[in-house]
A and B are shown apart, each in its own frame.
Chain A
Amino acid sequence: MSIVLSIKNVDKTFGGLHALGDINLDIEEGKTHAIIGPNGAGKSTLLNCCIGRLIPDSGTVEFEGKNMIGMQPHEINHAGMVRVFQTPEIFPDLTVLQNVMIPALARRDGTFKFNAFVSLASEKAIEADAVHILEDMGLGEHIHKHAGSMSRGDKRRLELAMGLVQHPRLLLLDEPTAGMARHDTNRTIDLLKRIKERGMTKIIIEHDMHVVFSLADTISVLAQGRIIASGTPDEIRGNPKVQEAYLGGAEL
Chain B
Amino acid sequence: MNMPLLKNDWVIMAIFTVAVLTAPLWLTPVGAGYPDLMQKFAIFGIFAIGFNLLFGLTGYLSFGHAVFLGVGSYTAVWSFKLLTMNVLPAVIFSILLAGVFAVVIGYLSLRRSGIYFSILTLAFAQMSYNLAYSVLTPLTNGETGLQLTMDDPRVLDGPVGQGLPSTQLFGIEMSGYNGFYFCAVMLILGFFISLRIFRSPFGLKLLAIKSNQTRMKYTGFNTRPYLLTAFVISGMYAGLAGSLMAVTDPLAGAERMQWTASGEVVLMTILGGAGTLFGPLFGAGIIKYFENIFSAMNDGRLHEIFAFLPDWLENIVVAITGEFVGEGWHLTLGLLFMIVVIFLPGGVVEGIRRASAYVKGIFQSSGDKDVALSAEKE
Contact = CB atoms under 8 A, between A and B. Distances in A.
Contacts of B214: 89
B212 A91 contact: yes
B199 A74 contact: no
B207 A94 contact: yes
Contact of A74 (B196, B201, B207, B222): B222
Contacts of B220: 74, 77-78, 103, 106-107, 110-111, 166
Interface string B273-286: 00000000000000
A109 B226 CA distance: 12
A92 interface: yes
Interface in A66-91: 72-74, 77-78, 82-83, 85, 89-91
B196 A89 contact: no
Contacts of B354: none
Contacts of B217: 72-74
Interface residues of B, number: 28
A119 B196 CA distance: 7
A252 to B, nearest CB: 34
Interface string B1-42: 000000001000000000000000000000000000000000
A112 B221 contact: yes
A129 B239 CA distance: 40
Interface in A23-40: none
Contacts of B200: 115-120
Contacts of B225: 111-112
A78 B221 CA distance: 9
Contact of B197 (A92, A103, A116, A166): A116
B212 A90 contact: yes
Interface string B193-237: 000110111111101101110111111111101100100000000
Nearest to B223: A74
Contact of A123 (B201, B203, B221): B201
Contacts of B201: 105, 109, 113, 115, 118, 120, 123, 126
A160 interface: no
B212 A89 contact: yes
B277 to A, nearest CB: 14
A102 B203 contact: no
Chain B contact residues, majority secondary structure: helix
Contacts of B196: 116-117, 119
Contacts of B208: 91, 94, 98, 102
B54 to A, nearest CB: 13
Contacts of A73: 217-218
B199 A102 contact: no
Nearest to A118: B200
Given A109-B201, A114-B202, A117-B196, A103 B219 contact: yes
A44 to B, nearest CB: 14
A172 to B, nearest CB: 10
B207 A93 contact: yes
B59 to A, nearest CB: 10
A98 B220 CA distance: 15
A51 interface: yes
Interface string A178-216: 000000000000000000000000000000000000000
A120 B195 CA distance: 12
Contact of B215 (A89, A101, A110): A89
Interface of B: 9, 196-197, 199-205, 207-208, 210-212, 214-223, 225-226, 229
Nearest 7 pairs between A and B by C-beta?
A77-B220, A106-B220, A116-B202, A91-B211, A111-B222, A93-B211, A73-B217
13 contacts: A74-B221, A91-B207, A93-B207, A93-B211, A94-B208, A98-B204, A105-B204, A106-B220, A111-B220, A113-B201, A113-B202, A116-B196, A117-B196
